[in-house]
Amino acid sequence: MQLIKDQSFGGERPLFALKNTRLENVTITEGESGIKCCQNIEADHCRFIGKYPWWHVDGSLITNCLFEVGSRSAIWYSNDMVMRDCMIEAPKFFREMRNLTVENVRFSDADETFWRVKGLTVRNVKLHEGTYPFMFCEDVDVDGLKSDSKYVFQYVRNAVVRNAHIETKDAFWETENVTIYDSCLDGEYLGWHSKNLRLVRCHIAGEQPLCYIDGLTLEDCTFDAASDRAFEDSSDINATIKGSVTEIKNPISGLIIADSVGKITLDENIKSPANCVIETKKQL
């Protein structure tokens, strides 16, 4: 593997079609497409300033690097990548990719980041601001995520999320086959229109959670007092809840067991078969 060290490159496509190369303390300055159509590239302690610096690269290892604000849309169409210990200041990162691992990475603008990534592993990542991270991703494995971005995990398929703290709005909409463990999910309208959503030992905060879901499992979850009108139009529910739920509204079918429920609303708008069983230890 050849080594390029302590250099700067600018303009358009300065390292086009590079192969089997390690970059150390390299700066990609103003310009476009600094590293494009390359294979087997490593970058350590590098700095990326210009637009679209890393496209169509197969086989990458990126460590201890900084992607500045100007490097927007930096990494697209690149497969088999590992990124560790990096800082990302630019939006619209990671699109149309396969087999991506991201560890110990911080995003200061996570707008439209992680779109259409298949085979995504996330470890100890922080997302700040922006909208719609993780849109249309498949085969996702997350352990350690802190995010205040809006509309996270929309249209995701086949995902496991552990140890996450998510402050958001409209999270996990229209997902399929998603399991979340030991996480705090704080935001309105959690999980709407999803299929096969499972939450284990999670804390749920925000209004109208878990509605319009087909196949919902909760195991030893807790609810914030503000989480009202839960489970509306959801079917095939199997939920065990620790503590109280402020309001359950018009669940379609299944079983909900809670220590206590403040209010159960079953009105003329409930959908057939309207046979969900709700059991409580104590009625508030």
Q: What pLDDT is attached to residue 94?
A: 98
Contacts of 284 (CB under 8 A, 6+ apart): 244, 260, 261, 262
Q: Please check the confidence at residue 281 and state whether its pLDDT lies above 80.
A: no
CA 242 vs CA 18, 40, 239: distances in Å: 56, 50, 10
Q: What pLDDT is attached to residue 284?
A: 41
Q: What is the pTM of this model?
A: 0.94
As a whole number of angstroms, the distance between CA 230 and CA 211 comes to 6
Q: Please check the confidence at residue 171 and state whether its pLDDT lies above 90.
A: yes
pLDDT digit string, tens, across residues 202-256: 999 999 999 999 999 999 999 999 999 999 999 999 999 999 999 999 999 999 9
Contacts of 20 (CB under 8 A, 6+ apart): 1, 2, 39, 40
Query: In order of start, what are the domains of the chain with their CATH numbers?
Result: 1-90 (2.160.20.80)
Share in percent of the chain as helix, strand, coil (round to 5) = 0, 60, 40
Place 169 in a pLDDT band, splitting at 50, 70 and 90.
confident
Q: What pLDDT is attached to residue 282?
A: 58
pLDDT digit string, tens, across residues 47-67: 999 999 999 999 999 999 999
For residue 247 the two structure tokens come to 């309001």
